[in-house]
Amino acid sequence: MTHRLRLLLIGLLALPVLACAQNYPDKPITLIVPFPPGIVDANARLVASKASAILGQPIVVRNMAGAGQRIGTDALAKAPKDGYTLGVVTNAGVVAGPALAARMPYDAQRDFSYLVLALESHYLINAAANSGIKSLPQLVELAKASPEKLRFGSTGIGTGFHVATEQFIKTAGVKMLHVPYKGESPLLQDLIGGQVEMAFSSLASRSMAEAGRLTMLAYTGETRSPLLPQVPTAKELGIAHVSSGWLGFAAPAGLPAAVRERLIQAFTLATRDPEIMAKFTKDGIEPRSLSGEAFDARVRREIEELRELNKELKLSLE
């Protein structure tokens, strides 16, 4: 076969792909959300509705909750690579799972095309009101004076609250006892009751603090939350790095380049929509639009950071 004929054949084979990319999208898109209906689902739907208007096709949400987001995320990894099946991904599903589980049904660094990181949700560091702890430096001082005496609660091994607390503990150079719970509500109830001395939480817990049931010690964002300007950041108080939760959109790896760029453009514009930005800001969520290779690089970096941290912690999701 001559070189010219080989090039002609390659060009002919590429024509259907190029035509598909040029006409994309010409039918509804499915969005897999690895959560049940709730706050996360609602935020994903809000962004998806804007992206749908930009793309000119419906985006139909399919909730596939369970197994720590693995069911929905695995379905995304195995979906057709045509741009008509997308999915919501979070740091719990594509960072904590791959970093802490010995066996995963998907490879977070090879099986996905990361499109846009849409939002970041920072945490509050709280103490029980009856613990007498009034500041983050005081908490660190008490923990150093009595290693493994103070207890911290989380929403379960490998969850965002747990990983962030472990990062805080390592950075602060202290040791505390971990008490896992099945969700934020029972965690906060036991924090209020004094069964644990401290815990990370979402900003939704601020109403409990305002009622005098919790003491807010710090916020994990880079800057103070406009909702809580009186609460210092952990960084201000000497804790340089504490992770936060995030939510983004991805597709199976291997998308046609033109389709991928179209999706990145649509979801980037959606996250920058003034209505969405205002809604997220009101809820204490930081709108983001980290896209493409930058989003992919962040996922890879966080996986390696957690794997390194876990050499000391030896956590397992199995």
Final residue before a domain boundary, out of 155, 184, 219 = 219
266: phi > 0 → left, psi -120 to 50 → alpha, else beta; which?
A: alpha
Which of the four pLDDT bands, split at 50, 70 and 90, describes residue 21? low
Domain that holds residue 69: 29-120+244-313
Give the pLDDT score at 10.
46
Give the pLDDT score at 158.
83
CB atoms within 10 A of CB 124: 24
Give the pLDDT score at 318.
61
Q: Are residues 115 and 187 in the same domain?
A: no
Residue 11 pLDDT > 50: no
Please give, one letter per residue, the 3-state secondary structure of 44-89: HHHHHHHHHHHHCCCEEEEECCCCCCHHHHHHHHCCCCCCCEEEEE
Q: Are residues 109 and 43 in the same domain?
A: yes
Give the pLDDT score at 2.
59
In a domain, 176, yes or no: yes
Task: Beginning with the edge strand found earlier in the chain, give each strand of the sheet holding 286-291 in spatial order.
Answer: 59-63, 29-33, 85-90, 245-252, 112-121, 286-291
In a domain, 253, yes or no: yes
Task: Identify which of 242, 249, 243, 240 has the alpha carbon closest to the alpha carbon of residue 87.
Answer: 249
Give the pLDDT score at 260.
98
Q: Are residues 95 and 160 in the same domain?
A: no
User: Which helix H or strand E contains 277, and what residues bound it?
Assistant: helix 274-282
In a domain, 224, yes or no: no
Q: Are residues 208 and 145 in the same domain?
A: yes
Please state which of the ranges 12-26, 155-169, 175-189, 280-294 shows the lowest mean pLDDT. Answer: 12-26
Cβ contacts of 67 within 8 Å, gap of 6 or more: none
Read off the pLDDT of residues 79-99 as tens digits, 9 standing for 90 and up.
Answer: 999 999 999 999 989 999 899
Give the pLDDT score at 1.
54
In a domain, 61, yes or no: yes
Q: Are residues 133 and 209 in the same domain?
A: yes
In a domain, 53, yes or no: yes
Compute the distance between CA of residue 40 and CA of residue 212 in angstroms, rounded to an integer.
27
Mean pLDDT over 269-289 rounds to: 93
Mean pLDDT over 137-153 rounds to: 97
Q: What is the CATH number of the domain that holds 128?
A: 3.40.190.10
Which of the four pLDDT bands, split at 50, 70 and 90, describes residue 14? very low
> In the predicted model, what is the mean pLDDT of the chain?
91
Number of domains in the chain: 2
Q: Are residues 116 and 36 in the same domain?
A: yes
Give the pLDDT score at 4.
56
In a domain, 49, yes or no: yes
Q: Are residues 111 and 128 in the same domain?
A: no
Compute the distance between CA of residue 47 and CA of residue 30 in angstroms, rounded to an integer.
14
Q: Is 72 exposed, middle or buried (0-12, 13-18, 19+ CB in 10 A)?
A: buried
* Residue pair 228/204 in contact by the 8 Å Cβ criterion: no
Final residue before a domain boundary, out of 219, 235, 267 = 219
| Tokens of residue 226, six digits | 């406009």
In a domain, 45, yes or no: yes
Q: Are residues 253 and 108 in the same domain?
A: yes
In a domain, 1, yes or no: no
Give the pLDDT score at 39.
86
Q: Are residues 300 and 260 in the same domain?
A: yes
Residue 50 pLDDT > 90: yes
11: phi > 0 → left, psi -120 to 50 → alpha, else beta; which?
A: alpha
Read off the pLDDT of residues 170-227 as tens digits, 9 standing for 90 and up.
Answer: 999 999 999 999 889 999 999 999 999 999 999 989 999 999 999 999 999 989 999 9
Final residue before a domain boundary, out of 219, 234, 258 = 219
Compute the distance between CA of residue 200 and CA of residue 262 in angstroms, rounded to an integer.
37
Angle at alpha carbon of residue 104, lines to 101 and 106, rounded to 5°: 140
Q: Are residues 104 and 128 in the same domain?
A: no
Mean pLDDT over 27-56 rounds to: 95
Q: What is the CATH number of the domain that holds 80?
A: 3.40.190.150
Q: Are residues 97 and 178 in the same domain?
A: no
Please state which of the ranges 8-12, 22-26, 269-273 shows the lowest mean pLDDT. Answer: 8-12
| Tokens of residue 74, six digits | 């695995």
Q: Are residues 56 and 115 in the same domain?
A: yes
- The single-letter DSSP state of residue 111 is S
Which of the four pLDDT bands, split at 50, 70 and 90, describes residue 241? confident
